[in-house]
Chains A and B, each alone.
Chain A
Amino acid sequence: MSDDFNKKRRNFLKSTAALGVAGMAPTVFVRNAWAQDFVNNPGKAAAITLGFNVPQTGPYADEGADELRAFKLAVKHLNGEGDGGMLNTMKPMALQGNGILGKKVNYVTGDTQTKSDAARASAKRMIEKDGALMISGGSSSGVAVAVQSLCHEAGVMFMAGLTHSNDTTGKDKRKYGFRHFFNAYMSGQSLAPVLGERYGTDRKAYHLTADYTWGWTQEESIKNATEGLGWQTVETVRTPLGAGDFSQYITPVLDSGADVLILNHYGKDMVNSLTQAVQFGLRDKQVNGKDFQIVVPLFSRLMAQGAGENIKGILGSTNWNWALQDAASQAFVKSFGQEYGFPPSQAAHTCYVQTLLYANAVETAGTFYPCEVISALEDFQFDGLGNGPTLYRGADHQCFKPVLVVEGNDNPSNQFDLLKVVKQVPTEQVMYDPSIFGGELGSCK
């Protein structure tokens, strides 16, 4: 009797335990998913860290320095300090000026040196050692593509700063990477019609191109767009990044039969190549019965400052200009100007905006979990960040907004009034099918 009872009791306990384990099992397996455990999850920490990875040395150092200023200003505004800048104008806006999800925002910085390997090492340190939840920065598409890939592998958000190569959101796009800045294709589409109006459709162009991903796609885009107008491409010559002396590349232009020189250079490379092209008398020449012209497809105020008088009358495209009169741009310029004593560059603008967009997406999602943040950013439509109504396209994580065609100002009204807006090209004119550049976003981890 007793043995039988004990046997039954043991069987009952075993069955109950088995049922209990079986019942518990699904909860154990899905617990992590609901808790959203992810890289650098801040948990209950009072503060979070963002990583700002910019070129503090190298040919794009000026842009990098301005990017860093903008990042610091964005952090200040997110933490509820200062005048709030574009937090006051952005719509829709979930941020409350008390950090992100109530957590104070801290940051760490790194020097990409405008080199992909240094940038990756720096970003890796930020993720693994500093616990950065989001990496931003760039100023070189080569760097941006490399860091974006690293962030994707690590499962950390990458909000690209200054990067203009089609590849960043084209063949090298990644699920964890987002770009607010425009790209080379948009430069070509916006600039070519203005070039046609100004210089006619019967032109011969000579390209000098920075020899890396940005230069290649820039050259391809502007070449396609100008050839679409009827221009001929005489020659495309690649130059090393940071060449310094471009004379050996400029001298052949003089005898090439070209009547337009297109400088697919940026930063100090553009300053040097443009200055030297002017020094070699290109702008004073007449070829094929036409005045010789120089075009800088990607322009910025910082470069204009470096090139001085040489930029007068030269056409290019830009993502944003401090002289825009909309309330958002003015709020940002005022805020940045008060902080630093000069207006922000387009590099500063895009980095500031990217930081706000990330923070707003986290606030909207209610979590730092990247997959939720990505969902909040994909196909997000917003306004009040200085470029008019903008779409963060989900298919390739590229922003679409009007593009500015600018010209070196002949009569600047002050020391910063170096570029004047010639045309604000509507979004529809620069839109494209995301499939044209190939690439796969991949999936969220």
Chain B
Amino acid sequence: MDAFVLQILNGLDKGSAYALIALGLTLVFGSLGVVNFAHGAKFTLGAFCAVSFQQLLTISRKVKDESVTFFDAYKEVPYLEIWWGDTGSMIIDWAVPLSIFLAIPVMLLIGLVLERGLYQFFYKRTHAEQILVTFGLAIVIQEVIKTFYGANPIPTPAPEMLSGTAPIGVWLGLGESVAYPYWRLVYFLFSLLVIGLVFAFLRYTTFGMVVRAGMSDRETVSLLGLNVERRFTILFGIASVVAGLAGVMYTPIVPPDYHMGMEFLVLSFVVVVVGGMGSLPGAVAAGFLLGILQSFASMNEIKSVLPGLDQIIVYLIAVIVLLVRPRGLMGQKGVMEE
């Protein structure tokens, strides 16, 4: 039972990242019809918003370390600590969650600039051409990040208060043996919040209503005199923000490096295909489903019978789903079915 609960949690945690990235991908594909291979790079850009914010908060002064007598050693003491003592330390400690406030405007701006500056010129081109140009863009973004931040992972820890282990077993009445890292729970809850906000925004606002109508029948909505293009541009910005926030909050789980987004991108496309191209609930459901299945496939009991299943389970599911239901689990009829 303990292992079962832990694998579910692990799957939800993995699924959170898949779902957030797939959600952004689907928003762009569903509204603009663009197969966006640069979406993973936006996940990376978000992570590096957190890195930049942390670096900004920890601008330091070199102070001689008197405890080292062998040679002249120096310690880096952040100005925030020099000026504000414990309050300064606390702000630095909470750098990752606080960097969300930097990431939202930055990612929105990046999204809007990219859509206006590049993507809009490729809407009427073939998917193959879109893939080529967006993949090229992803490489450019990666290399720019590499130039500024180097090629090595940069530790970006979670706040100390959230770096321990949550007694999930005690909370669920299963005993003390089931525990799970706080930050991974935070990541899962955060992803639910973001997904919930995106859905609420699309469902309960006039903007969302027009966008959804535009996604179903762009031409008719335009004929009603509504500026669908502008709304889709903003939607593209929102998709960038979602990917960026997924990256920001992921940094304490794995220290970010310049190509971290690529590792998620292929999996996220599989998630989108399994969920159904253009289906937002499908992307989210498939994200969590595949995360959980991948997690269960990594159990020793499974691996002893089917070694390596954890590495291929996602692709195996994709093959099965596409064979049985080419439109994906929740995809619209006609999409990917020819």
Chain B min CB distance to A39 (Å): 32
Contact (Cβ within 8 A) A251 B6: yes
Contact (Cβ within 8 A) A272 B255: yes
Q: Is A349 an interface residue (CB 8 A)?
A: no
- The one of B68, B72, B165 that contacts A284, using a Cβ cutoff of 8 Å: B165
Q: Is B205 an interface residue (CB 8 A)?
A: no
Contacts of A334 in B (CB 8 A): 70-71
Q: Is A394 an interface residue (CB 8 A)?
A: no
Contact (Cβ within 8 A) A279 B255: no
Chain A: residues with Cβ within 8 Å of the partner, total of 39
Contacts of A128 in B (CB 8 A): none
- The one of A245, A285, A337, A416 that contacts B177, using a Cβ cutoff of 8 Å: A285
Contact (Cβ within 8 A) B184 A247: yes
Contact (Cβ within 8 A) B2 A330: no
Q: Which of A305-332 contact B (CB under 8 A)?
A: 306, 330
Contact (Cβ within 8 A) A252 B165: no
Q: Is A57 an interface residue (CB 8 A)?
A: yes
Q: Which of B151-209 contact A (CB under 8 A)?
A: 151-153, 155, 163-165, 177, 179-181, 183-184
Give B1-39 as 1s and 0s: 1 = Cβ < 8 Å from A's Cβ atoms.
011001100100110000000000000000000000000
Q: Is A333 an interface residue (CB 8 A)?
A: yes
Q: How far is the CA of A280 from the CA of B177 in the complex (A)?
A: 11
Q: Which of A111-154 contact B (CB under 8 A)?
A: none
Q: How far is the CA of A131 from the CA of B315 in the complex (A)?
A: 48
Chain B min CB distance to A98 (Å): 26
Q: How far is the CA of A116 from the CA of B214 in the complex (A)?
A: 52
Question: Which residue of chain A has its CB nearest to the CB of B158?
Answer: A279
Q: How far is the CA of A182 from the CA of B148 in the complex (A)?
A: 37
Q: Is A281 an interface residue (CB 8 A)?
A: yes
Question: Which residue of chain B has its CB nearest to the CB of A337?
Answer: B71
Contact (Cβ within 8 A) B179 A281: yes
Q: Is B84 an interface residue (CB 8 A)?
A: no
Q: How far is the CA of A272 from the CA of B163 in the complex (A)?
A: 14
Contacts of B163 in A (CB 8 A): 279
Give A338-354 as 1s and 0s: 1 = Cβ < 8 Å from B's Cβ atoms.
10011100000000000
Q: How far is the CA of A399 from the CA of B10 in the complex (A)?
A: 45
Contact (Cβ within 8 A) B71 A252: no
Given A57-B152, A252-B299, A337-B73, also A247-B10 (CB < 8 A): yes
Interface centre among A251, A334, A341 (most CB of B within 10 A): A251
Contact (Cβ within 8 A) A248 B70: no
Contact (Cβ within 8 A) B177 A235: no
Given A61-B152, A272-B254, also A248-B73 (CB < 8 A): no
Contact (Cβ within 8 A) B68 A415: yes
Chain B min CB distance to A68 (Å): 14
- The one of B73, B164, B263 that contacts A415, using a Cβ cutoff of 8 Å: B73
Q: Which of A264-280 contact B (CB under 8 A)?
A: 268, 272, 276, 279-280
- The one of A254, A306, A414 that contacts B6, using a Cβ cutoff of 8 Å: A254
Chain B min CB distance to A112 (Å): 12
Question: Which residue of chain B has its CB nearest to the CB of A414?
Answer: B67
Q: Which of A245-260 contact B (CB under 8 A)?
A: 245, 247-249, 251-252, 254-256
Contact (Cβ within 8 A) B72 A341: yes
Q: Is B86 an interface residue (CB 8 A)?
A: no
Contact (Cβ within 8 A) A255 B74: no
Give A27-67 as 1s and 0s: 1 = Cβ < 8 Å from B's Cβ atoms.
00000000000000000000000000000111001100000
Q: Which of A352-386 contact B (CB under 8 A)?
A: none
Q: Is B81 an interface residue (CB 8 A)?
A: no
Chain B min CB distance to A374 (Å): 36
Contact (Cβ within 8 A) B298 A245: no
Q: How far is the CA of A337 from the CA of B67 in the complex (A)?
A: 14
Q: How far is the CA of A62 from the CA of B14 in the complex (A)?
A: 28
Contact (Cβ within 8 A) B71 A416: no
- The one of B10, B70, B183 that contacts A251, using a Cβ cutoff of 8 Å: B10
Contact (Cβ within 8 A) B165 A341: no
Q: Is B143 an interface residue (CB 8 A)?
A: no
- The one of A256, A281, A306, A337 that contacts B300, using a Cβ cutoff of 8 Å: A256
Give A94-121 as 1s and 0s: 1 = Cβ < 8 Å from B's Cβ atoms.
0000000000000000000000000000
Q: Which of B108-148 contact A (CB under 8 A)?
A: none
Chain B min CB distance to A67 (Å): 15
- The one of B68, B254, B255, B295 that contacts A414, using a Cβ cutoff of 8 Å: B68
Q: How far is the CA of A438 from the CA of B14 in the complex (A)?
A: 44
Contact (Cβ within 8 A) B253 A245: yes
Given A272-B254, A280-B165, also A251-B73 (CB < 8 A): no
Given A272-B255, A279-B163, also A416-B73 (CB < 8 A): yes
Contacts of A338 in B (CB 8 A): 71-72
Question: Which residue of chain B has its CB nearest to the CB of A283?
Answer: B165
- The one of B152, B153, B165, B294 that contacts A279, using a Cβ cutoff of 8 Å: B165
Q: How far is the CA of A235 from the CA of B304 in the complex (A)?
A: 10
Q: Is B310 an interface residue (CB 8 A)?
A: yes
Chain A min CB distance to B187 (Å): 11
Contacts of B72 in A (CB 8 A): 337-338, 341
Contact (Cβ within 8 A) A341 B74: yes
Question: Which residue of chain A has its CB nearest to the CB of B253?
Answer: A245
Q: Is B337 an interface residue (CB 8 A)?
A: no
Contact (Cβ within 8 A) B254 A248: no
- The one of A56, A251, A281, A416 that contacts B68, using a Cβ cutoff of 8 Å: A416
Q: Is A244 an interface residue (CB 8 A)?
A: yes
Q: Which of B246-264 contact A (CB under 8 A)?
A: 253-255, 260, 263
Q: How far is the CA of A237 from the CA of B310 in the complex (A)?
A: 13
Interface centre among B152, B165, B299 (most CB of A within 10 A): B152
Q: How far is the CA of A57 from the CA of B165 in the complex (A)?
A: 32
Q: Is A413 an interface residue (CB 8 A)?
A: yes
Chain A min CB distance to B174 (Å): 13
Q: Is B75 an interface residue (CB 8 A)?
A: yes
Chain A min CB distance to B99 (Å): 20
Contacts of B152 in A (CB 8 A): 57-58, 61-62, 268
Q: How far is the CA of A55 from the CA of B181 in the complex (A)?
A: 32
Q: Which residues of A contact B (CB under 8 A)?
A: 56-58, 61-62, 235, 237, 244-245, 247-249, 251-252, 254-256, 268, 272, 276, 279-281, 284-285, 306, 330, 333-334, 336-338, 341-343, 413-416
Can you give 8 contacting A-B residue pairs, CB < 8 Å?
A244-B153, A244-B263, A248-B310, A279-B165, A330-B70, A341-B71, A341-B74, A415-B75
Besides A248-B14, A337-B72, A414-B65, 13 other CB < 8 A contacts?
A: A57-B152, A245-B254, A248-B298, A249-B298, A255-B2, A280-B165, A333-B70, A336-B71, A337-B68, A337-B71, A337-B73, A413-B67, A415-B73
